[in-house]
Amino acid sequence: MGLQFEGMAGHSAMSDVDRNAWIDMIKSSNAKTVLEIGTFCGVTCALLAKEFPEVNFLCIDPFMKGVGTGAGVIEHWHKNRQPNMNLFVGTAQEFAERMMNLFAREKDGYAENRLPSFDLVFVDGDHGYEGALKDLRTVNEMTDHILCHDVGRVEPGLDQVTKAVEDFCTESKAWKYARRVGYVGILERI
């Protein structure tokens, strides 16, 4: 599955066009912190991490078979790792829960939950309708820039992501699906 790159272990699930959309967004948003949900073998992220050594990338993957998508390979991820890449092993929801507990503080006698924030979030995890929607809801409060991969796909297994993006924008009222470059859907905060 996917594209091979010299010196990298495993594959990237992303075309050059799609990766360039991500590169353009890192540049235009001046991102310094990037979250990648669904890192797979880490190849795409490693290519970006080499290109943007000043940007910190946090990758998330449970390394278990997701819905409609192949599971990442953790050994490949570690081989591909660049100094500015870190990894959380688990789902996006487990990450959010863990961070909320870690950063919880007492405020006015109550626990105030806090989520981390990122300049840019790239959603490419569970490709089922419910899963993609859940990932989008999970990062809703973490960022002002979301890119979602596999928007516009019609192949079975990938064809649910577009509807998840559209429904997320409708329900949240805080985001609009601005445009698509290749199969990268670009969401903007309203």
Binding positions for ligand SAM, rule: CB under 6 A: 12-14, 37-40, 43-44, 60-63, 66, 69, 71-72, 91-92, 124-126, 131
Structure tokens at 89: 């092993």
Name the minimum Å distance from CB 94 to ligand SAM: 8
Name the minimum Å distance from CB 167 to ligand SAM: 17
Rounded Cα–Cα distance for residues 108 and 41 (Å): 44
Q: Which residue has the tokens 């698509």?
A: 180
Nearer to ligand SAM by Cβ, of 71 and 178: the residue is 71
| Chain residue at closest Cβ approach to ligand SAM | 66
Nearer to ligand SAM by Cβ, of 106 and 142: the residue is 142
Sequence-separated (6 or more) residues with CB below 8 Å from residue 158: 68, 69, 127, 150
How distant, in Å, are the alpha carbons of 14, 52, 53, 86 from that of 18?
6, 17, 20, 22
Nearer to ligand SAM by Cβ, of 159 and 176: the residue is 159
Sign of CA dihedral 82, 73, 69, 2: positive
Nearer to ligand SAM by Cβ, of 40 and 57: the residue is 40
Name the minimum Å distance from CB 129 to ligand SAM: 13
